[in-house]
Amino acid sequence: MRSPKEKTYMKKARTPKEKAGRIALYVFVVCLALVVLYPYFVMFTTALKSRAEIYAMKGTLLPIVWEWNNFTDVWSLAPLARYFINSIVVAGGATAISIICGIPAAYALSRMRFRGKKFFLGLVIVSQMFAPVVLLVGIYKIMSMFHLTNTLVGLIFINAAFNQAFAIWLLRGTFMSISPEMEKAATIDGCNQVQAMIRVLLPVAAPGIVTALIFVFINAWNEYTVALTLISDDALKPLTVGITTFNGYNMIEWQYLFASSLFATIPVVILFVCIEKHLVGGLTSGGVKG
């Protein structure tokens, strides 16, 4: 959907004052982009330096010798591939569970009237209020009860539970923006409610669902605190915890830390840029207008 106000043409600056404003705008925007990109520039250039150069007295902006093999070396210096797989399993699993639980909940919240609907909506909001870090003591306890400490399954469930609220919120907003008429027609044609939802609503709601999927995936991918607490086995660490291997007690191997950080960052940044537009639309339409 394109709003009519998103003009593609440029407003021509006419007066000198307007021209000065244009120039100021461009200067500001360029500076802004440079500041935002600065840490990524540092990450990239440092990942290409040798350790000696990083710790040298006289700092350099760009590497003197471009150590491209840092990017290949990290894979053997730490079980980076293992961490990658763990991150994919945790983020993928959490996404699947929170969407599988979230879709029917969002469907009921957008299509049905029932007692306690407001209460449930309130519960969804409240659950969003509590970050896992405040509940770690309790989470640790329940995880030991189910023997899920130091397992990926435990991480999957915690991430799913804490991201579910957002998924429900986004999905409900999407479903509410779609007219229920089509589903009604489908039920008259003999579909039951579940079939009508799957065959009629979900295909139309696909953009919203993809947004929710990617959002949960990124959140679970970037999660650090719970993984740090629950996982002690090196072979089970996700990337966020695993890369801190290079953050040793005496000496930080910055070049390897940043090389692996880049591998962990690039995929999610790309995903995020793809959904950026939909996400905020969903955020405010689902969150504010209800």
Partner 1 sequence: MKKKKILRAVSPYLWLLPSILLMVIFILFPIFEVFRTSLSEVSRAGIIKGFAGLDNFTKVMKSSAFGMVLKNTVVWTIVVVGLSTVSGFALAMVLNNEFRGRKIVRAIVVFPWATSLIIQAGVWKFIIDSDYGTLNTLLMKLGLISKAVNWTPTPEAYFAWECWVGIFVTVPFVTFCVLSGLQSIDASFYESATVDGAGFWQKLFFITLPLVRSSLTVSTVLNIIYVFNSFPIIWTITKGDPANRTDTLVTYLYKQAFYKGRTGEAAAISVIGFLILCVCASVYMVLSLRKEEQDA
Would you give the distance in Å from CA 272 to the centre of its chain?
Answer: 7
Report the nearest approach of partner 1 to the CB of residue 216 (Å).
13
Nearer to partner 1, 127 or 151 (CB): 127
Report the alpha-carbon distance of residue 221 to residue 280 in Å, rounded: 20
Report the nearest approach of partner 1 to the CB of residue 179 (Å).
17
Nearer to partner 1, 69 or 193 (CB): 193
Nearer to partner 1, 236 or 238 (CB): 238
The answer to whether the beta carbons of residues 153 and 91 sit under 8 Å apart is no
Report the nearest approach of partner 1 to the CB of residue 195 (Å).
14
The answer to whether the beta carbons of residues 83 and 242 sit under 8 Å apart is yes
Nearer to partner 1, 221 or 236 (CB): 221
Report the nearest approach of partner 1 to the CB of residue 276 (Å).
5
Nearer to partner 1, 81 or 125 (CB): 125
Report the alpha-carbon distance of residue 79 to residue 224 in Å, rounded: 18
Report the nearest approach of partner 1 to the CB of residue 233 (Å).
16
The answer to whether the beta carbons of residues 105 and 261 sit under 8 Å apart is no
Report the alpha-carbon distance of residue 99 to residue 97 in Å, rounded: 5
The answer to whether the beta carbons of residues 70 and 256 sit under 8 Å apart is yes
Nearer to partner 1, 22 or 82 (CB): 22
The answer to whether the beta carbons of residues 97 and 152 sit under 8 Å apart is no
Report the nearest approach of partner 1 to the CB of residue 209 (Å).
15
